[in-house]
Amino acid sequence: VAATEKTEQADGNTSTPSPLSALMSAALALPILAIPTKATALENAAIGYRILEYREGDGRMKVREPLLWAKGSLGQFDFAASGMVDLVSGASPQFVSNERGTPIHTLSGASIRDRRNAAEVKVAHRFEGWSLGVSRNVSFENDYTSRALGVEVKADFAEKNTTLQASFGRNNDEISSFDDATLHERRRTREFLVGVTQVIDARSIVQSNLQFTRGKGYFNDPYRFTTTFFPDTPPITVLDTRPGERKQTAWLTRYRRTLSDIQGVLALDYRYYTDDWGIRSHTFGAAYTRTIAEGWKITPGLRYYSQTQADFYRTLLPQSLRGTRDVPSSSDQRLAAFGGLQPSITVTHTLANGATIDLMVSSYRQRASWKLGGDGSDPLATFSARSVMAGITWPFGN
């Protein structure tokens, strides 16, 4: 439904740095010059290309994301770099109103186009039994810029049966808006992660990570608003308004086990998430990789996601919000209570030289009634999307 004539167009060619510029920007922030330049054999090196084609149902967003990456080891240094482009087009839910009775999403029209260029560089130095790594991420859109730094320490124990990890990340984001030329806001985020990876036996391994994220600044969606009509009084319109702070905790545990008798690998993931906006979430993932022929593997997978709604999520505004500006209120469906299911299937082919080609097809659906325990938010337009992801990895060096 396109109930607005407003058109947002951003071809991204005027002020968004190119992926190469983004990559250089990321690389220059790291001490790459510290890598010894004397002749050292390149080991475990590979380059790869991956592309994601993502399409939402009901004529909503279409996304194409090509990504080029490289990694390798030089002496005691490990490095990795990637550059990607995010091409977005289509219509995005912009406001919710009850003009026709029950609250419904209204899309922004079919003319939104946006482009994001992003790059990442990682460098790590291996010492005896431990390693220290630093990373730099940059992301440029016409109305959003993000710069992030990461520091990671890993230490091996018990003949490398146990690996402990601690990392810190700092994100500095700048937000502007096509709708409001005066909007220039910032958000600062700090992330802390501790984790352990443990070999259980010769066929199974488990990893458990605990991450704390603390963000301060502008969390609003500057393009989104809510309008509620009343029978006897004028309607109320409130811009998307969220708290200026967010504290998030995520606990991710992943398990892998080889089932050698049938040449298969089982992968099980679970993540518990909670934040001070009132959202709690459970994510379950299961995948099973099986060799079906020489050089060919197939991986069916299923992901289930469930979340409760944010304390300030509402699709109908109460009269008490009339005239207010700073009371948190959002009708963003991503803050609603719902469940999501994503079945997928991946086929991987390994060539004689070790190069691999893979193709993943998946379908993602969200329903209010699929929330864990039921009782989701009042259903707005149900969400569905299909995606195809293809990649090639080409190893080289020693």
Partner 1 sequence: MNVKRSVVALAIAGCALLSGCANVKAFERGHLSQPEMQFDADFSATKLSQQMYAAKEAASGGYTTGGGGCGCN
Residues between 175 and 194 that touch partner 1 (CB under 8 A): 175, 187, 189, 191-194
| CA 337/CA 249 separation, integer angstroms | 18
How many CB atoms sit inside 10 A of residue 397's CB?
12
Q: Give buried/exposed letters for 42-79 (b at 16+ CB in 10 A, else e).
A: eeebbbbebbbebbbeeebbebebebbbebbbbeebbb
Residue 230 beta carbon to partner 1: minimum distance, rounded to whole angstroms? 29
3-state secondary structure of 21: helix
Contacts of 236 (CB under 8 A, 6+ apart): 227, 228, 230, 317, 319, 321, 322
Contact 327, 360 (CB under 8 A): no
Residues between 357 and 396 that touch partner 1 (CB under 8 A): 358, 360, 364, 366, 383, 385, 387, 389, 391, 393
Quick check: 223 binds partner 1 (CB under 8 A)?
yes
DSSP bridge partners of 176 = 184
Residue 342 beta carbon to partner 1: minimum distance, rounded to whole angstroms? 9
Residue 189 beta carbon to partner 1: minimum distance, rounded to whole angstroms? 7
Residue 245 beta carbon to partner 1: minimum distance, rounded to whole angstroms? 15
Residues between 3 and 32 that touch partner 1 (CB under 8 A): none
Residues between 251 and 290 that touch partner 1 (CB under 8 A): 251-254, 256, 258, 260, 265, 267, 271, 273-275, 277, 279, 281, 283, 289
The only residue of 12, 72, 103, 169 in contact with partner 1, by rule CB under 8 A: 169
Q: Give 229 or 268: the residue with its C-beta nearer to partner 1.
A: 268
Stretch that binds partner 1, among 124-132, 229-237, 297-305, 374-382 (CB under 8 A): 297-305
Size of the site for partner 1 (CB under 8 A): 108
Quick check: 81 binds partner 1 (CB under 8 A)?
no
Mask 33-62, x = binds partner 1 (CB under 8 A)? Answer: ---------------x-x-x-x------x-
Extract the tokens encoding 216.
């301060």
| CA 140/CA 22 separation, integer angstroms | 8
Quick check: 85 binds partner 1 (CB under 8 A)?
no
The only residue of 213, 237, 363, 382 in contact with partner 1, by rule CB under 8 A: 213
Extract the tokens encoding 368.
């209010």
Residue 366's φ and ψ, nearest 5 degrees, are -120, 135
The only residue of 15, 28, 99, 212 in contact with partner 1, by rule CB under 8 A: 212
Residues between 300 and 359 that touch partner 1 (CB under 8 A): 305, 307, 310, 334-335, 340, 358
Query: C-alpha angle with apex 73: 70 to 77, nearest 5 degrees?
Result: 115
Residue 22's φ and ψ, nearest 5 degrees, are -65, -40
The amino acid that residue 383 corresponds to is F
